[in-house]
Amino acid sequence: MDTTRSLFLPPQGSTVASDVDALFGFIFWISLFFFVGVTALTVYFCIKYKRKDGKGETTPYIESLALEITWIVIPTILLMVIFVWGFQDFIRMHIVPANSMEIKVTGQKWFWSFNYAEGATGVGELVVPVGQPVKLLMSSKDVIHSFFVPAFRIKMDVLPNRYTITWFEATMTGEFEIYCTEFCGKGHSEMWGTVKVLPKDEFAKWLEAGSGPGEGESMKEYGARMFVKNACNTCHSLDGSKNVGPTFQGLFGRREVMSDGTTITVDENYIRESILSPMAKQVVGYDPVMPTYQGILKDVDIDGLIAYIKSLEN
């Protein structure tokens, strides 16, 4: 049996997960015990004291000081236990260990991006080493999002114009889902990502390598990977259908009418400008909602995307 799994919950992937689950389990079983007990007694009394034969009967009046004290004292003790227990966990989950590695998390419609002190960036995928406390310094570029990693039992709102902080220490390698749990618009349900937990030596290698096409990968294939990894697919279709943004099908070389009435032909420079300064030239009929990828995408990433877009013919 997989001991890291517990009642209704995903695997315990962080140092705080087992504590969170223990308290959750305690509250769950206590609630279930009282729910079943109260329901059973209600049903029993309904049957026992039902008025029979239409005759008026007086229900026996139960008076017991001992009983009253019992049902005041026991729930009070239980609630105090839950409060003290929960408060201790809460404090532990909010005090970031001093030896933490810091990663900047940015939420925006509709993807997550991650910036490391060493300069590496990632979109949609948070890569971390196992057994190392990681501090997440989070903010939003637009509306309120919420960063949730069920396997780590952490969840924290991500707000514009303000930093929020959370931390975790992964206890096992693997991939774990990130969800946005604050309704943030049309793409909310697609605003998910992955935490990839690597052994320490592999993480060091990943940090050094940064990005770029892998061994034997063409720029076009690399661009196809970037298209998904950077969540371009949330707003741009490949089949010609109109989404939040124009479709990428047959985009390269297409004549587009801009919101100011001018017409341009889509070329390398237009694509590059649209990725870095999306507000510079807007295709008519679309809302100005494209986020800038300045500081997120490297030149090699943009080269890959251009190669990929060129390959998407009508």
The residues of the shown chain that bind ligand CUA, judged by CB under 6 A, are 107, 110, 145, 180, 182-184, 188, 191
Name the DSSP letter for residue 237. -
Please, what is the minimum distance in Å from the beta carbon of residue 2 to ligand CUA? 30
Amino acid residing at 241: S
Coil, strand, or helix at residue 131?
A: coil
User: What does DSSP say about strands 111-116 and 145-149: parallel, antiparallel, or unpaired?
Assistant: unpaired
The values of phi and psi at residue 40, to 5°, are -65, -45
Least gap, CB of 187 to ligand CUA (angstroms): 8
The smaller minimum CB distance to ligand CUA, of residues 112 and 248, is found at 112
> Helices 17-48 and 65-94 meet at what angle, rounded to 10?
160
CB of 236 to ligand CUA, least distance (A): 18
Angstrom distance (rounded) from CA 307 to CA 40 = 68
Nearer to ligand CUA by C-beta: 160 or 253? 160
Question: Closer CB to ligand CUA, residue 112 or residue 176?
Answer: 112
CA distances from 233 to 141, 218, 229, 243, 297 (A): 19, 20, 9, 10, 15
Closer residue to ligand CUA, CB minimum distance, 23 or 159: 159
* CB of 18 or CB of 194, closer to ligand CUA: 194
Nearer to ligand CUA, 154 or 309 (CB): 154
Tell me the closest approach of the beta carbon of residue 60 to ligand CUA, in angstroms.
56
Q: Are strands 133-140 and 193-198 parallel, antiparallel or unpaired?
A: unpaired
Contact call for residues 255 and 263 (beta carbons, < 8 A): yes
Q: Report the nearest approach of ligand CUA to the CB of residue 243 (Å).
A: 17
Least spacing, CB of residue 188 vs ligand CUA, in Å: 4
